[in-house]
Amino acid sequence: MSKVENNVDVYENNAESTAIKKHIEKFWMKPIGLDTNSLESSYIISLNSEGIVSGLKLLKSSGSDGFDASVSRAIRRASPLPMPENPEKFLKLILNFQG
């Protein structure tokens, strides 16, 4: 857990957030013609209690607008996201996406 944005608790890199990321990746269409192997971006995702994405902030850009936009679209398309038994734990989370 880390704290960002006015000391709000943000969860990252655990089994539950990994399951959420895998769900998002089903909706991810990487940009055609772009070598994405070395690209990585990070997003802070805000969720409501039903897992619907209520906010999305690019925390670390990959340096490619096309790559970052493809990740953002995938996150929004994947909404609502699967929620763990304790959904309050995931009102905000950080996910990293690699090409």
**And the tokens for 88?**
């309050």
Give the per-residue pLDDT at 15.
77
Q: Which domains does the chain have, with CATH numbers?
A: 2-98 (3.30.1150.10)
Give the per-residue pLDDT at 90.
63
- Residue from 88, 87, 90, 98 nearest 44 by CA: 90
Q: CA separation (Å) from 16 to 19, 64, 81?
A: 5, 28, 11
State yes or no: pLDDT of 8 exceeds 70. Answer: no
User: The pTM is what?
Assistant: 0.83
Give the per-residue pLDDT at 23.
96
Instruction: Tell me the average pLDDT across 2-19.
Output: 60
Tens-place pLDDT, residues 47-87: 988 889 999 999 999 999 999 999 999 999 999 998 877 76
